[in-house]
Amino acid sequence: MKLVRFGAQGQEKPGLIDSDGVIRDLSGIVHDIAGDVLTPEGLARIRAANPADLPAAPESVRLGACVARPGNFVAVGLNFADHAAETNNPIPSEPVLFNKAPNCVVGPNDDVMIPRGSTKLDWEVELLIVIGARARYVDEADALKHVAGYAICNDVSERNFQIERGGQWTKGKGNETFGPIGPYLLTADEMPDTSNLAMWLEVNGEKVQNGSTKTMIFGVAHLVSYISQFMVLDPGDLITTGTPPGVGLGMKPPRYLKAGDVMRVGIEGLGVQTQTVVPFKL
């Protein structure tokens, strides 16, 4: 299933995309795409519905973030061998973890706002894991049973905040609008293999990232298992899994986003996002 949230910001309704590409309103079936709705029991309620019996959403309706109100938003750094090389970092022996602020999550086509004081705003196409069952000290062999599905994440990053301001990477990863996710959540049963998905990102029509999940150092099952050794993952939590090469930081000379730039972000089987960069505003 392709699950979405649609409508004005703060007023989104749950939906699914039917076989004809029409968004169907699920608000009579589930309260939102979040938490217990993403458990096997919650997804079973959705699967039992006949899409043709559900009302259609208005055409050209805004898509919100495909998961509402995540409790935790975990990110994995330097998880692509070719990206580690472009940033002059060694390949990690264990996953590098940091957090993005859960409230940085926005819709897939919402604007990305330049933070106050930003000088090095960057892009990162990433595969997003959405948790569907509580994960606590999970074995890698059982890890995929805890995944509800997958989506695209643009792990927007401010490199000055992240690298040059001391402390942890979190500083440059959790600003407002730094977490566009969607356009839809594809349930895990429809994507049993995530090991070789094409990934790309364009800035103003120029393809700057053109990679594949095949160069991931740590795969989905390993990451879910590994992270569950350090924290409990609950249904609706998010894990964004690292980016292939082609980020602005790795260019020679480095290249960063400015107001008016447009990003298009895609992963095979998971659709496309489009964001416009806008100036800071209160």
185-235 confidence digits (pLDDT tens): 999 999 999 999 999 999 999 999 999 999 999 999 999 999 999 999 999
Share of the chain above pLDDT 90, in %: 94
Distance (Å, whole) CA 47 – CA 189: 12
pLDDT at 88 over 90: no
Distance (Å, whole) CA 278 – CA 101: 20
Q: pTM score, two decimals?
A: 0.97
Distance (Å, whole) CA 36 – CA 59: 28
Q: pLDDT by residue (tens digit) across 144-188?
A: 999 999 999 999 999 999 999 988 899 999 999 999 999 999 999
- Whether 274 and 263 have beta carbons less than 8 Å apart is answered as yes
Helix (H) / strand (E) containing 44: helix 40-47
**According to the model, what pLDDT value does residue 83 have?**
82
Share of the chain above pLDDT 70, in %: 100
What pLDDT band is residue 277 in, cutting at 50, 70 and 90?
very high
Q: What integer is the mean pLDDT of 112-137?
A: 98
- Whether 156 and 140 have beta carbons less than 8 Å apart is answered as no
Domain segments of the chain: what residues?
A: 2-53, 73-278
Q: How many CA atoms lie within 13 A of 138 on its CB side?
A: 26
Query: CATH number of the domain at 73-278, out of 3.40.50.10260, 3.90.850.10, 3.30.70.1280, 2.40.10.10?
Result: 3.90.850.10
One-letter amino acid of 127 = L
Helix (H) / strand (E) containing 224: helix 220-227
Q: What integer is the mean pLDDT of 98-125?
A: 98
Mean pLDDT of the chain: 97
pLDDT at 85 over 90: no
- To which residue do tokens 């609706």 refer? 236
Closest CA to 48 of 29, 27, 31: 29
Q: pLDDT by residue (tens digit) across 61-83?
A: 999 999 999 999 999 999 998 88
Residue 262: other Cβ atoms inside 10 A? 14
